[in-house]
C-alpha cells in the first residue's frame, strides 16, 4: 500500500486550488457526471435496497469519482490524488481478522457481506455529551454489562470539576485524560477490564488532546477515531493524529461523514461518496475499520429514509468489493424513554446489518443533547443487530418501511424524552423500573409483531 509519508508529500505538493473551486468546480460537477454515467437512482419505496448490480455500479462510480476528484487538504489548499492502482493496492492490503481487547473480553471484528449470517460487531453507549463524571461511569458500565456489547464508544464529558471544557486549552487536555480514566474505571466495575474502547478520547477535539488521552489508555484495547471533513477533505490535525498512531502502533477507526443535501446532493450522490470514502479509510487514516456516517443537512439523524437508503447502498457496494470491516454509527431524533427512539434505532441498525455492516449505536437526540445518552436503548439495539444477521434484504426492507411509517412524520418535531437522572438511579448505577418496563415492552412488540428472535442474553429481562 502507498506509504503514509507519500500521502503527506502529496498534501504538500499536489495540484493547488481554492476550497471553493474544489467544492463547486471539481467535486460537484464530477459527482453529477458519475451519477449519470452509472445510472444511480434513488428508490424511496425501498429504504433497504437489494439490487447487487446497483451496488456494484455504485462501487465503480465511487472509485472513478475518487480518482478524478481526489481529496482536498484545507491547510495547504492542494489536492491529494490517487490512481486506481493505488486504491486497489490499499484494498488488497487491508487489515483482516483484527482482534480487539484482551483476555475474556477480546473480540474479533468480522468482515461481513450483505445478508451475512455472521453476527455483527456491536459497540455503543457513548459519543453523546454527559455533564458529570458519575453519569459517564454509569452509562459506560451499564452498556458494558450486556454480553452482546463488543466495544465501547466513550461518551463526551462536557465539563471538568464544574467548569466547561475548552478545546485546545489545558482544560481540554485534562478533560481528554479524565475521560479515558473514567471509561476504564467503568469497565472495571462492569467486570470487563479488557473490553476495547473504539473511540478512546471522545472529549478530545485537537490532536494534542487525543495524544494526551491515549497516553493514559490501554494500547491493548483502545483505538482512536479519526475523521475526515465534509466532503472529501482532510486537515493537518487529522493527519497529525494518524502520524502519532503510526509511530506508536495504535489502531484507528476511520470516520467519514456525508451530508445529505450538501455538496453530495441527494441520496444517489451520497451513496457514491460513501463508497469513495471507503479506500480513504486505508490510504488517509490507516484505519482497521471504516466508520461511515450519513446525516441530513438539517436534523442530524441517521434514521431518515434517504440516509438509510444511501448508507445501506454505500455499505453494500463496499462490502461486496473490500475486506475492510464497516462499523456504521447512528443516532436518533427522538430522545430516551420514547417508543419512537426504539423504532428509529431498530430501523437503521437492521438496515445496516443486512447490508453487510456492523454497528456503533450512538446516543438518542441526535447525539448533541447533554445527558440524553441511554444505554438501555443501546442494549436493545444490540439484540436487534444480532437478530438481523442472516436476514434477507427484502424481508428487512418490509420491516424498516413499517418502522418508518411509525415515526417518519415526527422527525422534524420528535419527542424530547427524558434526561438520564429521570430514568436512572445514579447512586445505584441502574435504570429505574419505568425504563425497564418500556424496554421489556418494546422487546415483546418486536418479537410478536415482526417475528424477531431477539437474544435472551440481556441483563434486564
The residue assigned the cell 467535486 is: 27
Q: Which three cell numbers stand for residue 329?
A: 454509527
- Determine contact, residues 357/316, Cβ cutoff 8 Å: no
Q: Which of 301, 325, 276 is nearest to 151 (CA)?
A: 325
- Determine contact, residues 238/228, Cβ cutoff 8 Å: yes
DSSP β-ladder status, 122-124 and 151-153: parallel
Look at the alpha carbons of 56, 343, 228, 91 in this order and tell me if their dihedral is positive or negative. Answer: negative
- Determine contact, residues 326/315, Cβ cutoff 8 Å: yes
The share of the chain scoring above pLDDT 70, in percent, equals 99
How does pLDDT run across 139-176, given as a tens digit for each residue?
Answer: 999 999 999 999 998 888 888 888 888 878 898 899 88
CA atoms within 13 A on the CB side of 4: 16
How does pLDDT run across 423-450, given as a tens digit for each residue?
Answer: 999 889 899 999 999 999 999 999 999 9
Global confidence as pTM: 0.96
d(CA 361, CA 127): 9
**Residue bearing the bigger pLDDT, 428 or 232:** 232
d(CA 200, CA 185): 13
For residues 210-236, give the mean pLDDT: 91
Q: Which three cell numbers stand for residue 68?
A: 478524478
How does pLDDT run across 239-294, given as a tens digit for each residue?
Answer: 999 999 999 999 999 999 999 999 999 999 999 999 999 999 999 999 999 999 99
d(CA 229, CA 186): 31
Least confident of 27-31, 61-65, 95-99: 95-99
CA-to-CA dists, residue 36 to 63, 105, 223, 266, angstroms? 15, 47, 39, 13
The pLDDT assigned to 204 comes to: 77
The pLDDT assigned to 367 comes to: 67
d(CA 302, CA 189): 32
CA-to-CA dists, residue 120 to 69, 136, 148, 327, 350, angstroms? 33, 25, 10, 9, 11
Work out the mean pLDDT of the chain and round it to a whole number. Answer: 94
How does pLDDT run across 336-383, given as a tens digit for each residue?
Answer: 999 999 999 999 999 999 999 999 998 887 767 888 888 999 999 999
Amino acid at each position: 500500500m502507498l506509504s503514509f509519508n507519500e500521502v503527506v508529500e502529496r498534501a504538500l505538493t499536489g495540484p493547488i486550488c481554492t476550497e471553493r473551486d474544489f467544492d463547486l468546480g471539481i467535486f460537484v460537477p464530477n459527482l453529477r457526471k458519475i451519477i449519470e454515467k452509472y445510472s444511480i437512482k434513488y428508490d424511496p419505496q425501498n429504504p433497504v435496497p437489494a439490487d447487487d448490480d446497483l451496488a456494484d455500479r455504485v462501487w465503480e462510480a465511487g472509485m472513478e469519482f475518487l480518482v478524478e476528484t481526489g481529496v482536498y487538504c484545507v491547510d495547504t489548499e492542494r489536492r491529494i490524488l490517487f490512481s486506481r492502482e493505488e486504491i486497489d493496492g490499499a484494498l488488497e492490503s487491508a487489515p483482516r481478522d483484527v482482534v480487539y481487547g484482551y483476555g475474556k473480553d477480546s473480540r474479533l471484528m468480522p468482515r461481513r457481506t450483505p445478508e451475512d449470517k455472521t453476527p455483527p460487531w456491536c459497540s455503543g453507549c457513548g459519543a453523546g455529551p454527559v455533564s458529570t463524571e458519575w453519569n459517564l461511569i454509569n452509562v459506560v458500565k451499564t452498556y458494558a454489562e450486556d454480553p452482546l456489547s463488543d466495544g465501547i464508544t466513550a461518551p463526551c464529558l462536557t465539563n471538568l470539576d464544574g467548569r466547561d471544557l475548552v478545546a485546545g486549552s489545558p482544560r481540554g487536555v485534562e478533560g481528554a485524560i479524565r475521560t479515558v480514566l473514567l471509561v476504564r474505571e467503568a469497565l472495571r466495575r462492569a467486570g470487563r477490564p479488557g473490553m476495547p474502547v473504539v473511540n478512546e478520547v471522545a472529549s478530545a477535539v485537537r490532536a494534542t488532546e487525543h495524544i494526551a488521552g491515549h497516553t493514559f489508555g490501554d494500547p491493548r484495547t483502545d483505538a482512536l477515531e479519526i475523521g475526515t471533513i465534509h466532503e472529501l477533505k482532510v486537515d493537518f490535525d487529522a493527519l497529525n493524529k494518524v502520524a502519532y498512531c503510526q509511530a506508536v502502533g495504535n489502531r484507528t477507526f476511520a470516520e467519514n461523514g456525508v451530508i445529505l443535501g450538501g455538496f453530495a446532493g441527494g441520496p444517489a450522490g451520497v451513496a457514491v461518496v460513501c463508497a469513495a470514502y471507503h479506500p480513504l479509510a486505508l490510504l488517509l487514516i490507516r484505519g482497521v475499520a471504516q466508520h461511515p456516517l450519513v446525516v441530513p443537512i438539517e436534523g442530524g439523524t441517521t434514521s431518515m429514509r434517504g440516509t438509510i437508503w444511501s448508507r445501506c447502498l454505500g455499505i453494500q457496494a463496499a462490502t461486496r468489493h473490500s475486506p475492510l470491516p464497516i462499523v456504521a454509527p447512528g443516532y436518533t431524533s427522538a430522545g430516551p424513554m420514547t417508543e419512537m427512539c426504539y423504532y428509529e434505532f431498530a430501523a437503521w441498525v437492521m438496515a445496516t446489518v443486512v447490508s453487510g455492516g456492523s454497528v456503533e449505536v450512538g446516543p438518542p437526540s441526535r447525539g448533541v443533547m447533554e445527558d440524553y445518552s441511554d444505554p438501555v436503548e443501546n442494549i436493545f439495539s444490540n439484540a436487534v443487530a444480532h437478530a438481523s444477521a442472516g436476514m434477507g434484504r427484502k424481508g428487512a426492507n418490509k420491516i424498516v418501511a413499517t418502522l418508518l411509517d411509525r415515526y417518519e412524520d415526527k422527525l422534524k418535531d420528535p419527542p424530547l424524552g427524558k434526561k438520564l437522572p429521570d430514568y436512572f438511579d445514579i447512586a445505584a448505577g441502574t435504570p429505574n423500573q419505568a425504563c425497564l418496563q418500556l424496554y421489556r415492552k418494546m422487546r415483546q412488540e418486536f418479537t410478536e409483531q415482526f417475528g424477531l428472535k431477539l437474544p435472551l442474553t440481556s441483563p434486564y429481562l
